[in-house]
């Protein structure tokens, strides 16, 4: 074993990396809060000395005392303001805070000037802490990426970064480690935890040749995988890229506030200037420059749009974080807004409401042993790659109660003939076996129960030695939370239409719709037909969310107002075109996504009303001389802190 392999053989590299990152974050947190904490301590001492008129705290001592605190706490803010001014950006909160606090020093309000800057800095730190909290929810996905992988090179395994691994190479994953790249299983079997991709906590067993995906965790023995996708093309990498891009897409409300701040800031800046100058022309000899200058400074402090500029994007960021924590990826805050307007939910059936996997539902034998019939049919069907054949073979292997119900690998089918559109024929263990649809039995003039035509599920009719022996029904089963999904959607007041679309025959669609309690379900649709159905709803003025998982759903996902994809094991095309990705593959998350959107919108507007309401009131009081610098501090920083705390609430909500 090489040194590199030994160093990382137990996954220690990844663990050390995580611990180092957390340690750095912790150290940064402590350093950021250290200076403001010390500043607050000395500010309170200075205020105490000033209040009790301590002898030595007179003359130049107060300005030196508070000046040092100001430079320590507010120096970076003033420096940033100067840099922005040099670039021609005068109207921003950094300049406003710097002008207001330096002005406070100019009129002798040293403690007030330090307090304004100190609380502003603390507010910024609180904002950063809240953002980091949201980031931790979002970036939880990033932890599923693997930084190192063992690759077979010249008959030995060496450590490489997954980016360096080529398609076709063999990688090794040990128990407890995450799979680094998408590939096909080379080992005989693997037991995997797929929760990172599907949200399912139950282990999933994969057989040799089956696909495994990056992010799945190997639970038992050492396994080997043949890489089928490069690092950048893995499903996990694409999802993570979407996560990182999500926060850059702004909602209309967020864009509106940003535009408002750019207009609002210069207006209040010149109003503050006017507040100093205009009274001179009306008051004459009664005009007191210091009083009006102080009012203007108070006006500036109050007018700083911190609460709006900070809390609005933070609210959306929190919404995206809440989504990630619930297994839902919003590709941008604009979709958090848009999903609140949805009044029609359209869902694909297969893979969205159903598992998308054929399973044997019922086995009926006539004058023949049931286990024996299934064993013979499974051996015959093992020669086919059809999904129905896979379902029959899988059922016999997985659901066996005795050795008689397992495929005997010593028995093979001979003279196998696949009759197109009908089924299969062959000799198995001395029996002539026919397995297919009723047309197959008609072709060979074998009589059977005509009531079979009324069965809605897919049916495989069996004849043994030219005699009808029974039938097997096969169907796609509902996802565990499909009923809950429909129930929760019906509770949302503004959703008036819930529609299920499918390419399956209408009889099958009607059966699934009846199980789910849906009255609007359309079957027999091609991809272009689904587009037509969605366009009909759009022509009625509906805001539509469409949810699908297959490559054939991509056009409809693109057409809809809010396209949603089942992202756990859905197609790449669906994931890339969707606006919202349900990472857990659970249809009940559709309602959860809408609830998160509604909660985010509610918090955003609460912050807007709070910030504007308090600011307008205190601005008027400040202009009339009825608000002091301390009240200005409370109205500005206090409201900002309240808005931040309100925004953080969404990350604690249960949906």
Question: Three-state SS across 135-168?
Answer: HHHHCCHHHHCCCCEEEEECCEEEEECHHHCCCC
The superfamily in CATH containing domain 356-477 is: Calcium-transporting ATPase, cytoplasmic domain N (3.40.1110.10)
Whether 647 shows a pLDDT value over 70: the answer reads yes
Compute the distance between CA of residue 519 and CA of residue 512 in angstroms, rounded to an integer.
11
Residue predicted with more confidence, 510 or 258: 510
Task: Quote the pLDDT of residue 3.
Answer: 36
Does domain 331-354+479-596 bear CATH number 3.40.630.10? Answer: no
Angle at 642 between CA 51 and CA 652, to 5 degrees: 135
b/e sequence 325-348, b meaning 16+ C-beta within 10 Å:
bbbbbbbbbbbbbbbbebbbbbbb
State pTM to two decimals: 0.64
Q: Provide the greatest CA pair distance for the chain.
A: 121
The secondary structure of residue 551, as a DSSP letter, is G
Greatest mean pLDDT among 121-130, 386-395, 418-427, 612-621? 418-427
The pLDDT-based confidence of 44 (bands split at 50, 70, 90) is very high
Task: Quote the pLDDT of residue 260.
Answer: 62
Instruction: Kindly state the average pLDDT of the residues 591-601.
Output: 95
List, by residue number, the catalytic residues.
348
Q: Of the given ranges (191-195, 334-338, 367-371, 499-503), which has the lowest mean pLDDT?
A: 191-195
The string of pLDDT tens digits covering residues 555-571 is 888 888 999 988 765 55
CATH-assigned architecture of domain 166-230: Distorted Sandwich (2.70)
Q: Residues with Cβ < 8 Å from 614, sequence gap 6 or more?
A: 635, 639
The pLDDT-based confidence of 164 (bands split at 50, 70, 90) is very high
Residue predicted with more confidence, 9 or 511: 511
Residue predicted with more confidence, 72 or 265: 72
Instruction: Kindly state the average pLDDT of the residues 90-110.
Output: 81
Compute the distance between CA of residue 381 and CA of residue 411 in angstroms, rounded to an integer.
13
Q: Of the given ranges (168-182, 248-262, 533-547, 589-603), which has the lowest mean pLDDT?
A: 248-262
- Please choose, from the candidates 271, 216, 456, 254, the residue with its C-alpha nearest in 3D space to the C-alpha of residue 279: 271
Whether 9 shows a pLDDT value over 60: the answer reads no
Residue predicted with more confidence, 137 or 638: 638
Compute the distance between CA of residue 597 and CA of residue 593 in angstroms, rounded to an integer.
6
Instruction: Kindly state the average pLDDT of the residues 408-435.
Output: 86
Task: Quote the pLDDT of residue 131.
Answer: 60
Instruction: Kindly state the average pLDDT of the residues 12-34.
Output: 46
Residue ranges per domain, the chain? 13-139+248-318+599-652, 166-230, 331-354+479-596, 356-477
Compute the distance between CA of residue 141 and CA of residue 383 in angstroms, rounded to an integer.
41
Q: Give all strands of the β-sheet with 431-436 in edge-to-edge order.
A: 354-365, 467-478, 458-464, 431-436, 423-428, 413-419
């Amino acid at each position: 074993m090489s040194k590199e392999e030994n160093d990382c053989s137990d996954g220690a590299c990844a663990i050390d990396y995580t611990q180092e990152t957390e340690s750095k974050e912790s150290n940064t947190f402590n350093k950021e809060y250290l200076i403001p904490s010390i500043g607050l301590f000395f500010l309170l001492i200075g205020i105490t000395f000033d209040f009790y008129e301590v002898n030595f705290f007179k003359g130049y001592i107060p300005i030196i005392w508070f000046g040092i605190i100001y430079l320590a706490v507010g120096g970076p803010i003033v420096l940033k303001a100067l840099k922005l001014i040099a670039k021609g950006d005068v109207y921003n909160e950094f300049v406003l805070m710097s002008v207001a606090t330096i002005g406070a020093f100019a009129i002798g309000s040293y403690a007030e000037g330090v307090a304004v800057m100190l609380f502003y800095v603390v507010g910024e730190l609180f904002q950063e802490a809240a953002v980091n909290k949201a980031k931790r929810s979002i970036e939880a996905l990033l932890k599923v990426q693997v930084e190192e992988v063992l690759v077979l090179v010249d008959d030995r395994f060496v450590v490489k970064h997954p980016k360096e691994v080529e398609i076709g190479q063999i990688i090794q994953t040990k128990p407890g480690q995450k799979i680094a790249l998408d590939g096909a299983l080379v080992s005989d079997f693997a037991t995997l935890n797929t929760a990172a991709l599907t949200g399912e906590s139950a282990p999933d067993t994969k057989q040799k040749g089956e696909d495994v995906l990056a992010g799945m965790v190997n639970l038992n023995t050492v396994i080997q995988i043949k890489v089928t996708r490069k690092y950048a093309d893995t499903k996990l990498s694409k999802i993570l890229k979407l996560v990182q891009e999500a926060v850059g897409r702004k909602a209309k409300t967020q864009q509106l506030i940003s535009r408002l701040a750019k207009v609002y800031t210069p207006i209040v800046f010149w109003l503050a200037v006017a507040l100093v100058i205009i009274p001179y022309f009306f008051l004459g000899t009664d005009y007191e420059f210091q009083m009006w200058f102080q009012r203007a400074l108070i006006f500036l402090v109050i007018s700083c749009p911190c609460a709006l500029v900070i809390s609005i994007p933070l609210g959306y960021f929190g919404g995206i974080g809440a989504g990630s924590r619930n297994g839902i990826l919003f590709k941008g805050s604009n979709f958090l807004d848009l999903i609140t307007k949805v009044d029609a939910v359209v869902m694909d059936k297969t893979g969205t409401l159903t598992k998308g996997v054929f399973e044997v539902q019922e086995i009926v034998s006539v004058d023949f042993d049931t286990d024996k019939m299934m064993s013979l049919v499974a051996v015959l069907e093992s020669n086919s790659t059809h999904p129905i054949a896979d379902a029959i073979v899988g059922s016999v292997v997985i659901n066996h109660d005795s050795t008689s119900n397992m495929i005997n690998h010593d028995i093979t089918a001979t003279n196998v003939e696949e009759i197109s559109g009908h089924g299969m024929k062959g000799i198995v263990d001395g029996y002539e076996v026919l397995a297919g649809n009723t047309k197959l039995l008609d072709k060979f003039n074998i009589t059977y129960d005509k009531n079979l035509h009324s069965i809605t599920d897919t049916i495989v009719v069996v004849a043994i030695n030219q005699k009808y022996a029974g039938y097997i029904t096969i169907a796609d089963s509902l996802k565990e939370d499909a009923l809950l999904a429909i129930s929760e959607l019906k509770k949302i007041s503004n959703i008036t239409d819930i529609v299920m679309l499918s390419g399956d025959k209408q009889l099958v669609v009607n059966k699934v719709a009846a199980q789910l309690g849906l009255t609007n379900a359309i079957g027999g649709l091609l991809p272009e037909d689904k587009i037509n159905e969605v366009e009909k709803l759009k022509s009625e003025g509906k805001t539509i969310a469409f949810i699908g998982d297959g490559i054939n759903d991509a056009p409809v996902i693109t057409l809809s107002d809010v396209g949603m994809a089942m992202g756990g094991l859905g197609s790449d095309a669906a994931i890339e075109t969707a606006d919202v990705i349900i990472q857990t593959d659970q249809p009940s998350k559709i309602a959860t996504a809408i609830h998160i959107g509604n909660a985010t919108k509610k918090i955003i507007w609460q912050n807007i009303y709070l910030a504007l309401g308090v600011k307008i009131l205190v601005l008027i009081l400040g202009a009339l001389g009825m608000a002091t610098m301390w009240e200005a501090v409370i109205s500005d920083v206090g409201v900002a802190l309240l808005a931040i705390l309100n925004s953080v609430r969404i990350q604690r909500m249960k949906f």
